[in-house]
């Protein structure tokens, strides 16, 4: 396994936990609404030739809540500040679910903060058809199971989330859900203004990745993102027989896609 570390860094006016691992050109990873799941197979593969930088969102894990961050747009402003202080811009980014939404908000504020942007099943825009799952109205078990199309066919999902969960795992999940609710509950997991401001993004190569059977954020939202990003170079890949977590359900194909896009 590639070596990785988690360190607390005082930056942007707070203490931020940051996971780092790998070697090569930096790659920013913005985790999804259940937090950083740990070092996964796709991390391991990408870390062979990229240095992965994974900030733990304020209010999650060892990163304390920042009260001034009241919505996902402000979370994006916070991360822009972090990247500037770390002298990492422009940087490649992959954002998952709410992390993808955050990356999109960052781009609306300053598209030059990124070199290339990959959004994996991002929330943030209301889909043209269907509804974003109200993750705050269901149990953690229901939410987890809704993230994959076929849990039985996803060994890494079973490894991460299968079996009996410890009290520490439940506490971590509930802390994450609490913080997500604080900044993304009203309206549920989207920003009605985001499509408008994404039209101002230019010159940022973007790749949107989705699972056709996504039960958390309907795949129709991919079209909405494409329309909103009409003024930049945007590609779309949809995996069949895949839910909200392509990095788990289609790990090898996902890694290949990332390498080709970021090359």
pLDDT, one tens digit per residue, over 127-155 is 989 999 999 999 998 999 999 999 989 99
Tens digit of each residue's pLDDT (9 = 90 or more) over 185-199: 999 999 999 999 999
| Predicted confidence (pLDDT) per residue in 32-56, tens digit | 999 999 999 999 999 999 999 999 9
> Is 0.95 surpassed by the pTM of this model?
yes
What percentage of the chain has pLDDT greater than the value 70? 99
Confidence of residue 2 (pLDDT cuts 50, 70, 90): low
* pLDDT over 60 at 3, yes or no: yes
Order of all β-strands in the sheet with 234-239: 4-11, 14-22, 50-55, 25-30, 91-96, 114-120, 206-211, 234-239
Residues 6+ apart with CB under 8 A from 89: 83, 112, 113, 114
What's the rounded Cα separation, in Å, for the pair 250 and 257?
10
Given this model, what pLDDT does residue 163 score? 72
Separation CA 120–CA 60 (nearest Å):
20
pLDDT recorded at residue 245? 97
Tracing tokens 């009241």 back to the chain, one arrives at 70
Total length of the chain: 263
Mean per-residue pLDDT of the chain: 96
All structural domains of the chain, each given as residue ranges with its CATH number in brackets, are: 4-262 (3.40.50.1820)
* pLDDT 10s digits, 183-232: 999 999 999 999 999 999 999 999 999 999 999 999 999 999 999 999 99
Name every residue whose Cβ is closer than 8 Å to that of residue 177 and which is 6 or more positions away in sequence: 33, 34, 135, 136, 140, 143
> Residue 1 above 60 pLDDT?
no
Local confidence band at 164 (pLDDT 50, 70, 90 cut-offs) = confident
Distances (CA, A) of 222 to 25, 56, 117, 210, 211: 28, 26, 15, 7, 10
Longest dimension (CA), the chain: 47
């Amino acid at each position: 396994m590639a070596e990785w570390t988690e360190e607390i860094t005082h930056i942007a006016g707070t203490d931020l936990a940051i996971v780092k691992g790998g070697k090569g050109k930096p790659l920013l990873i913005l985790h999804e609404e259940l937090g950083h799941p740990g070092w996964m197979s796709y991390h391991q593969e990408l870390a062979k030739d990229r240095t992965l930088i994974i900030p733990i969102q304020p209010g999650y894990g060892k990163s304390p809540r920042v009260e001034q961050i009241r919505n996902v747009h402000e979370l994006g402003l916070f991360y822009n500040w972090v990247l500037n202080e770390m002298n990492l811009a422009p940087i490649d980014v992959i954002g998952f679910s709410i992390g993808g939404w955050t990356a999109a908000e960052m781009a609306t504020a300053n598209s030059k903060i990124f070199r290339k942007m990959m959004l994996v099943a991002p929330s943030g825009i209301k889909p043209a058809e269907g509804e974003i799952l109200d993750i705050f109205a269901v149990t953690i078990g229901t939410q987890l199971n809704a993230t994959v199309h076929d849990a039985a066919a996803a060994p890494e999902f079973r490894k991460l989330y299968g079996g009996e969960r410890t009290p520490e795992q439940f506490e971590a999940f509930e802390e994450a859900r609490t913080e997500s609710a604080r900044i993304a509950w009203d309206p549920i997991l989207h920003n009605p203004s985001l499509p408008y401001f994404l039209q101002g993004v230019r010159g940022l190569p973007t790749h949107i990745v989705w699972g056709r059977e996504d039960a958390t954020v309907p795949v129709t939202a991919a079209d909405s993102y494409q329309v909103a990003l009409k003024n930049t170079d945007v590609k779309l890949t949809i995996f069949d027989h895949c839910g909200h977590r392509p990095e788990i359900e289609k790990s090898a194909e996902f890694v290949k896609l990332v390498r080709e896009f970021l090359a």
